Amino acid sequence: MRRFAREPQKRGGFHLLYGSIMERFLPIGLLIGSNIFMTYAWYGHLKDLKSKGLIIAILVSWGVAFFEYCLQVPANRIGFQHYSLVQLKIMQEIITMVVFAAFCVFYMGETIKLDYLWAGLCLIGAAYFVFRGGVPAA
């Protein structure tokens, strides 16, 4: 049983699925944005605030994390109308790893190792198992 679910509108025997599709992809977009803020809050201070005191790094990170939560909370509320809790968590972890990998390479200048690819494949396997039964009916 999902809360706030609505039926697709019909127009000439044709279902308008735009709302449903948008509602299914909106949480993913919000989670991507949330993870960008989260990753910076957790690790950006290692590059940008390394010469500042710990208290400054904590306060700046908390400030950035506020914006993470402004995206993450609605993402999970909207997403829970269409996905199971486990599906939301697995999506979150996959998004986290993709955003983190991009952050490591493009922002922090790190190199990606082959072991990271194998770990990513394990996450893809996790996604397969939680989504193979389909997405719960709205």
Q: Identify the pLDDT of residue 30.
A: 97
- pLDDT, one tens digit per residue, over 21-30 is 778 899 999 9
Give residue for tokens 């979150």. Answer: 92
Q: Identify the pLDDT of residue 36.
A: 97
And the tokens for 80? 């829970």
- The residue among 103, 113, 114, 117 whose CA lies nearest residue 46 is 103
**Residue 19 pLDDT class (50, 70, 90 cuts):** low
pTM of the model: 0.75
Ramachandran quadrant class, 135 (left: phi over 0; alpha: psi -120 to 50; beta: rest): beta
- pLDDT, one tens digit per residue, over 41-100 is 999 999 999 999 999 999 999 999 999 999 999 999 999 988 999 899 989 988 998 999
Q: Identify the pLDDT of residue 107.
A: 96
- pLDDT, one tens digit per residue, over 92-122 is 988 998 999 999 999 999 988 898 888 888 8
